[in-house]
Amino acid sequence: MSAARPITPALPNLLPHRRLCSSTSTSTAAAASTPTAASLLADILSSPTPSASALTHLREKPTLAASLYSHLAAPSHAITRASLSLLLSLPARHRLPPPTAPLLSSVLSRLLARFPSSPEPAARFLAASLAAGGPAPDVLAFNSVLAALARARDVPGMAKVYASMQGGAVRPDVVTYGILVNGLCKAGRVGDALRVLDGMSRQDSGIRPDVVMLNTVVDGLCKSGRVEEAVAFVEQRMKGVRGCPPNTVTYNCLIDALFRAGDVGMAYKLVGKMESEGVAQNVVTMNTIVGGLCRVGRNGAALEFFREKRNVWPEARGNAVTYSTLIGAFLHSNNIGMAMELFHEMTNEGHSPDAIMYFTMISGLTQAGRLEDACSMASSMKKAGLKMDAKAYNILIAGFCRKKRLHEAYELLQEMKEVGLRPDVCTYNTLLSGSCKAGDFTAVDELLGKMIDDGCQPSVVTFGTLVHGYCKAGEIDEALKIFRSMGESGILPNNVIYNTLIDFCCKSGDTDLAIKLFDEMKEKHVPANVTTFNALLKGLRDKNMPEKAFELMDQMKEEKCSPDYVTMDVLMEWLPVIGETDRLKSFMQEREHNAYKRIDSDLTEGEAVIFQQERLAVGGVNLAMERVHAGNEAGMRRSTGNNDRVSSRIFFPVLSSLIATDYCLLQYFSCEENAPGW
């Protein structure tokens, strides 16, 4: 008994201890039954779809859902196809959106960072989360998604996000409207941008557009060709309604658009207005005006403007771009002296030429035949620490080949290799052409060997060069061997190569072979053109084979191949002599008829041309001219309302065609005995 006494007082203390142990054990078991976010995520990603138990856990424990989304949005988590599918399906299919707005914003940021060129996953997740009853994120998150959609030119997506923004009672800010206006303008939806601007200016919005947003609209109008509307927008809405004076960017945009539209006078007026209103000019202003004048061929006016204004506009003294524009324009017009003067002035003013400027000079000087100056420019380029590329070497090589200075051309080829540049197919084709023209076919064979050794595969131009070279040298058999070897190289001949062979076969008197080649063209679906028909007609004329010529003339009609002045000259010289005047008349009338059909197919509403489909007799061009003038006098204008003359796009090509026909008719029918009696 004495041994049992100490046990009794200990019982009350022992029972609470047991209850505590039991409670702890139950709590531990409950904790063990609730997975962590990391384990749950691993479990979900291991199967095609989340299990029912996993979804139950997420619905019953919002903190667990929040932790899961935090894991998915963490930078350390790589968004794979499986995790992206999970992210999109949780709110869309299982109606489990992020439980808090900051968490939704984090997921959106992560998706936009993961897919920078495709905002569609972020937009889908946002829409699904809001549809599932998730809290709307702040305006910054909406703006991020809108900006990504605007960069992708996804206007419908922008509209949906903006609508969901309004549905979620998130108030757009000035950044929101700026993104919308900019995105719509860049997508060519300037009308929609103007409507957004109007909606922004409502009395209850409390937001007013700034000059940046208004300039975006001006730029959008200009780039969509609505220059007059842009000018009116600045004068009426920007200045008048908005009370926002235009700045340098506004005027630069308008001036550039007016130059591109060819309205030089209005562009000059805006320059004057810019100065009178005290709007500062910058180097972009200078370059816009200089570039615009050069584009319309007024190089002298561009240079005069530059030299006058660089002393008046302190912030617009010009830079390397200004000089490059002027130099390129003078090189293009073959005013090499002025281009050289400006180049030296550029360097003296402290503007270092870049590789593009040197390339422009080398190209222009080479095209003008001033090879020594071009080589000197190449040397200056190297001294400046700039490297010539293969294109620059190719231009110099072509220049020396044109001058038949093949020795220097081959030296440049060797120099290319020494500096580590690999000659391309253009390099070899140029040298092959030069060697063929010089009649050095030994060098041609050696060069072909080098070409193959350098791993440079011959192109269709290579074969065309060789075929032409051998034909020109009278080696038609050799040209035909090269032509037949094209199939082994896997290269199909084009109509240029066929035309060359047909032409030289006809000139050498082998018209039968020329006809066979022409038939082969049809079999291999190589389209014949007017050059093909002209070569054959000349050969048939020389052999006096009119029946075959008539077949070709009919084929030209069937294939809608318009004859040119060469065709007409050949037929006018030949057919009347053999008594086929009626067939000639019929062919020429068909030609005129097709010319009129081409006019009608090109006419637009308001086009200042009234041509009827009727035969032109001698003097028909005058009749056409009378009708053109009548159209102008009647006030017919093109739909743009800017042109008061016949569109040169339509008039000049057709007029030249008609003049050629009339000239041929006059040439033959001026003789009384040949008068057709029309």
pLDDT reported for residue 44: 82
Kindly state the DSSP code that residue 487 receives in the 8-state scheme: G
pLDDT at position 441 is: 93
Query: Using one digit for the tens of pLDDT, what is the confidence trace for 26-43?
Result: 444 444 456 787 888 887
Q: Give CA separation, 360 vs 331, 369, 370, 481, in Å.
A: 8, 14, 14, 40
Tokens linked to 17: 């201890």
Cα distance between residue 254 and residue 231, in whole Å: 7
Structure tokens at 577: 């002599």
Q: How confident is the model at residue 620 (pLDDT cuts 50, 70, 90)?
A: very low
Of the listed ranges 84-93, 147-156, 400-409, 619-628, the least confidently predicted one is 619-628
pLDDT at 643: 38
- HSE, CB side, 13 Å, CA atoms: give it for residue 423: 33
pLDDT surpasses 50 at 673: no
Identify whether the C-beta of residue 210 lies closer than 8 Å to the C-beta of residue 202.
Answer: no
CA distance 553 to 559: 10
DSSP track, 519-588 = HHHHHTTPPP-HHHHHHHHHHHHHHT-HHHHHHHHHHHHHTT----HHHHHHHHHHGGGGT-HHHHHHHH
Tens digit of each residue's pLDDT (9 = 90 or more) over 341-390: 999 999 999 999 999 999 999 999 999 999 999 999 999 999 999 999 99
Per-residue pLDDT averaged across 601-608, rounded?
A: 44
Residue type, 280: A
What is the number of residues in the chain?
Answer: 678
pTM, entire model: 0.70
Q: Is residue 155 helix, strand or coil?
A: helix
Q: Would you state the pLDDT for residue 316?
A: 86
Share of the chain above pLDDT 70, in %: 81
Taking a C-beta distance cutoff of 8 angstroms, is the pair 369, 336 a contact? Answer: no
Q: Above 50 in pLDDT, residue 57?
A: yes
* In-domain check, residue 623: yes
Q: pLDDT: is 144 or 314 the higher one?
A: 144
* Confidence (pLDDT) at 9: 42
Whether residue 647 is contained in a domain is answered as: yes
CA atoms within 13 A on the CB side of 92: 14
Mean pLDDT of 626-632: 42
503 found inside a domain:
no
101 against 200, higher pLDDT: 101
In a domain, 203, yes or no: no
Task: Calculate mean pLDDT across residues 562-573.
Answer: 92
The residue type at 659: I
**Integer angstrom CA distances of residue 321 from 262, 356, 401, 422:** 22, 11, 32, 31
Confidence of residue 671 (pLDDT cuts 50, 70, 90): very low
* Alpha helices, H only, 370-527: 371-383, 390-402, 406-418, 425-437, 441-453, 460-472, 476-484, 495-507, 511-523
User: What pLDDT does 200 receive?
Assistant: 80
Q: Is the dihedral of CA 97, 99, 101, 106 positive or negative?
A: negative
401, with CB counted inside 10 A (0-12, 13-18, 19+), is buried
pLDDT value at residue 633: 41
The arithmetic mean of pLDDT across residues 389-399, rounded, is 96
Helix axes 495-507, 476-484, angle to 10 degrees: 150
Report pLDDT for 497: 96
Residue 665 is assigned to a structural domain of this protein: yes
Residue 271 CB partners (closer than 8 Å, separation 6+)? 251, 255, 285, 289
- Determine contact, residues 607/601, Cβ cutoff 8 Å: no
Q: CA-CA distance, 257 to 289, in Å (whole number)?
A: 11
Average pLDDT of the chain?
83
CA distance 215 to 193: 12
Report how many domains make up the chain: 1
- DSSP secondary structure letter of residue 318: -
- Residue 471 domain-assigned? no
Average pLDDT score over residue span 384-410: 95
Instruction: Note the pLDDT of residue 241.
Output: 64
- Which residue range forms the structural domain that includes residue 611? 563-678
What's the rounded Cα separation, in Å, for the pair 314 and 44?
67
* Two structure tokens written together for 453: 């050794």
Query: How do residues 459-481 score in pLDDT, each as one tens digit?
Result: 999 999 999 999 999 999 999 99
Domain contains 138: no
- CA gap 302, 325 in Å, rounded: 10
The answer to whether residues 660 and 583 touch, using CB atoms and an 8 Å cutoff, is no
Answer whether residue 219 is part of any domain.
Answer: no
- Lowest model confidence (mean pLDDT) among 126-140, 323-337, 589-603: 589-603
DSSP structure class, residue 99: S
Residues 6+ apart with CB under 8 A from 26: none
CA 609, chain centre distance (Å):
32
Q: Greater confidence, 311 or 390?
A: 390
**Taking residues 236-262, what's their average pLDDT?**
87
